Amino acid sequence: MNLSNQKILIFGGGSGMGLALARRCVEAGAEVIIAGRGEQKLKEARQALGNPASLDVAAVDIGREDQVAALFAGIGSLDHIVSTAADIEGAYRLLPELDLKAAQRVVDSKLFGPLLLAKHGAPRLDATGSMTFVSGIAAYRPAARGSVVAAVNAALEGLVRALAVELAPIRVNAVSPGWVDTDIWAQVAGDRKAETLAAMAERLPVGRVGQPADIADALLFLIGNGFTTGTTLHVEGGHRLI
């Protein structure tokens, strides 16, 4: 894909799927801005991508409207906005152990955050532009300890459909990944990360768990396909079949 003369904002671009997408976009000739809360993580992401002149970073909390509004006020016009941001620390708990503050952080990062990006970012987008968010398999295959994440992923997909109608002709879509080998699994499974992912790989029809690049490719498809909106693209190795 040729993304020359395209300007793309990626929230959550400091690691995992967002970083993989940033790499794809830079390689395709786009001007890229990666945003996230951690300045050190953003610095490391810039270094990992080779410090290209076409890359900028911005320390912003996606759940803070004042910070999101300030970012868009100084960013100029955009072609595409993507968010892979997800703060799930402490959210995978059985209900008796669930801390409501941890649940709120999931809502802020994966639901209210995209809503704020739409509110303040849509005016910066060209009519041919797009917004793409990341939900997840938990909305379809919920498990014990995952009630909050399942609920937020499902709500995000509802928001995507509503925004696709309200913001048209700007396109709004979601990618729903399955199990992807990212740092998040250290929070979910702890020391059993490798064992947990290996067990799922044996169950999946494709015989492996996902990699960040798999999701980056799906995000790129939605960025580039001008006839897709209000859609959730499932990239989960057949997880919904098992």
Mean pLDDT computed over 131-137: 98
Maximal CA-CA distance, the chain: 51
For the stretch 74-112, pLDDT in tens is: 999 999 999 999 999 999 999 999 999 999 999 999 999
Q: Which residue has the higher pLDDT, 202 or 185?
A: 202
**pTM, full prediction:** 0.95
User: Among residues of the chain, what percentage have pLDDT more than 90?
Assistant: 94
pLDDT value at residue 214: 98
Burial-class residue 61 by CB neighbours within 10 Å (0-12, 13-18, 19+).
middle
Provide the pairing of β-strand 7-11 with 78-83: parallel
**Is the predicted pLDDT of residue 30 greater than 80, yes or no?**
yes
The pair of three-digit structure tokens given for residue 135, joined into one six-digit string:
């939900």
Report pLDDT for 234: 98
Our answer to whether residue 15 is catalytic in this structure is no
Identify the pLDDT of residue 105: 97
Catalytic residue from among 15, 109, 130, 135: 135
Average per-residue pLDDT for the chain: 96
CATH 3.40.50.720 for domain 7-232, yes or no, is yes
Residues in the chain: 242
Q: List Cα–Cα distances, 229 to 70, 152, 162, in angstroms.
A: 27, 20, 11
Q: What is the pLDDT of residue 3?
A: 95
Cβ-based neighbours of 48, under 8 Å, separated by 6 or more: 19
- Which residues are within 8 A (CB) of 196 and not within 5 positions of it... i.e. 6 or more apart? 185, 188, 189
Q: How far apart are CA 59 and CA 37, in angstroms?
A: 5
Query: Which token pair is 225?
Result: 């396909």
Task: Please tell me whether residue 78 adopts helix, strand or coil conformation.
Answer: strand
Q: Are 75 and 52 in contact (CB under 8 A)?
A: no
Residue bearing tokens 């979601």: 174
pLDDT at 188 over 80: no
How many other β-carbons are positioned within 10 Å of the β-carbon of residue 194? 11
39-61 pLDDT, tens per residue? 999 999 999 999 999 999 999 99
3-state secondary structure of 140: coil
Domain ranges of the chain: 7-232
- Cα separation, 224 vs 98, whole angstroms: 40
Instruction: Give me Rg for the CA atoms of the chain.
Output: 17
Residue 169: cis peptide before it, omega within 30 degrees of 0: yes
Q: How far apart are CA 136 and CA 153, in angstroms?
A: 6
Q: Are 21 and 82 in contact (CB under 8 A)?
A: yes
